[in-house]
Structure 1
Amino acid sequence: MNWQFGGIPLHPLFVHLTSVAVPVAALAAIAVAVWPAARRWLGVGGPIIGLVALVSVPLATSSGEWLEHREKETALLERHTELADGMLPWSIAVFALLVLWWGWHRFGAGRQKRTGVVRVISIIGPVLLVAVAVVSIVQVVVIGHAGAEAVWKG
């Protein structure tokens, strides 16, 4: 695919989408994990935000690979692309956990008796959501910093 519009590469556009959508999805995940009012307020919005973030990652990486083949290869650019390849699993995890957490509270948690399984899920769910969200935010910052170095120092 030709990842340009009017002769301008689309990678910066998709990178900006990703650098906003991923942290917003991560913050939504943290909010619904630790704050029941946010879970009620966001509802299905959390998983939708997670889906936008998830879709933005392959757009950014694919357009970045296209752009990489047209640029001079440097160590900084190589580091950026290697780091970027690791973002998709974290975005999948944030999205999947947001969907599961929403589904659990929408269809399961209120209808279940307070058994050991329900208690375990109510402890592990938020811990996983927060952990994956924090890692995804850190990953976006590290990737973005490496990309900025590749552009401005390379």
Structure 2
Amino acid sequence: MPSSVWGLPVHPLVVHLVVFLIPLVVLASLVVAVWPRARRVAAPWVLAVATLGVLSVPLATSSGERLEHQVPHSALVERHAELADGLLPLVAGLWLALAIMVAVAWHVRRRPTAPRWAAAVTVIAAVLTVGTSAAAGVQVVRIGHSGAKAVWHNVDAHSRPR
């Protein structure tokens, strides 16, 4: 991936994909986890969007690592990079919990009677989905806030546009 597009660093462009997809996946996953009808109808679609979200995170972190070598070193940039490194495991865990719910639902639809274990596995996957959704959502906010601080910390209040 190039480090810049039209003279702009790629990282801020790619980051907006993560900032859009991950909160969307978090909200949709919560709905799918707690509402059985939504699970039956929307879970495969949520899993598809979650797949895009999982793929977007390494793009953002790798472009961020390239940008990190082009900007002056600071504790704020370092903190932002550390927080960003923790997002992929959370989003991957969310994806896995969603995949389990989709797989169990697919398996149940193919059988005339649902196996006894299906309900228990679905509940466990739903609980994991809620937990990883909350963690991923919080982490995206923390990463975004630290990135904004790293970029804007030297801009004083008088020179900011109103």
TM-score by length of 1: 0.91
**What do the CA deviations read for 1:83-140 (whole angstroms, capped 9, x no partner)?**
001111011111121111111112237735453x334323212111100011000000
The CA RMSD measured in Å over matched residues stands at 1.7
Letter in 1 for 2:3: W
Q: Distance in 2 between matches of 1:17 and 1:137?
A: 14
Range that drifts further, 38-47 or 77-86:
38-47
Q: Distance in 2 between matches of 1:149 and 1:79?
A: 10
Report sequence identity in percent.
41
Letter in 1 for 2:10: L
TM-score by length of 2: 0.87
Aligned to 1:127: 127
Could you tell me whether the CA contact under 8 Å between 1:109 and 1:118 is conserved in 2? Answer: no
Q: Distance in 1 between matches of 2:78 and 2:153?
A: 13
Unaligned segments of structure 1, at least 5 residues: none
Deviation at 1:41, TM superposition (A): 2.7
Aligned to 1:97: 97
Q: Distance in 2 between matches of 1:4 and 1:76?
A: 22
Aligned to 2:145: 145
Unaligned segments of structure 2, at least 5 residues: 155-162
Moved over 2 A (4+): 108-115, 117-120
Higher relative CO (Cα under 8 Å, sequence separation at least 6) belongs to: 1
Could you tell me whether the CA contact under 8 Å between 2:14 and 2:60 is conserved in 1? Answer: yes
Number of positions where the alignment pairs a residue of Structure 1 with one of Structure 2: 153
